[in-house]
Amino acid sequence: VGFILRKAAAMATVYLDYQKADDGTWIIDWQLAFKKGQIRFQLGQEIDAVLPDDRSVRLVPDFDPATGRYSELQKGKPHDVKVERWITEDGEMQELVKIIDKDVQYTRVYERY
């Protein structure tokens, strides 16, 4: 990811909207100040996706109803990444991102709007 895009993304507000259609298809709409997109998938089925940072990945989505956590494995260059998202009791969505082949992870907190 280019330097300017990386710096702009770090400062931008990210909007995520999750929906589940009647046919079981999940839909994630995302929006940054300068860009938006959508990912449609069935749980457990690997798909090709382009992420907001323009990375092309093979995405493996999953959802654990016991914990209420959505997770996705993003297989691609430069690293494979595991993302988990869940809603806290306060109504915030938390996101834990782990770079699989490095000892790097971070947490992001989204507020409901």
Mean pLDDT of the chain: 88
Q: Evaluate if residue 37 carries a pLDDT over 70.
A: yes
Q: Which domain holds residue 23?
A: 3-110
List pLDDT tens digits, range 79-96.
Answer: 999 999 999 888 889 999
pLDDT at 113 over 80: no
Measured distance CA(112)–CA(6) in Å, rounded: 24
Q: How many domains does the chain have?
A: 1
Q: Model-level pTM?
A: 0.78
Average the pLDDT over each of 27-31, 34-38, 74-78 and give the range with the smallest value. 34-38
Q: What is the pLDDT of residue 14?
A: 79
**For residue 56, what is the domain's CATH number?**
2.40.128.20
